[in-house]
Amino acid sequence: MSSRINQRLPKAAVESISKEIDKRYSLHAAQLATRGDVGEVKQELAEMEGRLLRAMNDMQRWTLGAMFAALAALAVITKLWR
């Protein structure tokens, strides 16, 4: 009878450890990233970078246009003042 108890203890210990590992993995499985997830994030970042560069380009165009318009308005006012 003691040999049965001795054989059951290691199996119970292994099962217990295995259950704990499964619990921990299931808790963190949602937080783990796969290569596919990383690839999707890289693609999204590349798209976002493109949108940001286009937005900056548009802002520069509008800024330069506004500066030239202000300079032209100043030239007209100066010409009319004299």
pLDDT digits (tens, 9 = 90+) for 18-47: 888 877 777 677 777 788 888 999 999 999
Are residues 28 and 42 both part of a single domain? no
Which helix (H) or strand (E) is 34 found in, with range? none
Provide the pLDDT for residue 1.
Answer: 47
d(CA 3, CA 12) in angstroms, rounded, equals 14
Whether residue 21 is found in the same domain as residue 6: yes
| Tokens at 31, concatenated | 């937080």
Are residues 50 and 28 located together in one domain of the fold? no
Residue 68, pLDDT > 90, answer: yes
The pLDDT value recorded for residue 3 is 58
Predicted local confidence at residue 34, as pLDDT: 80
Q: Do 70 and 47 belong together in one domain?
A: yes
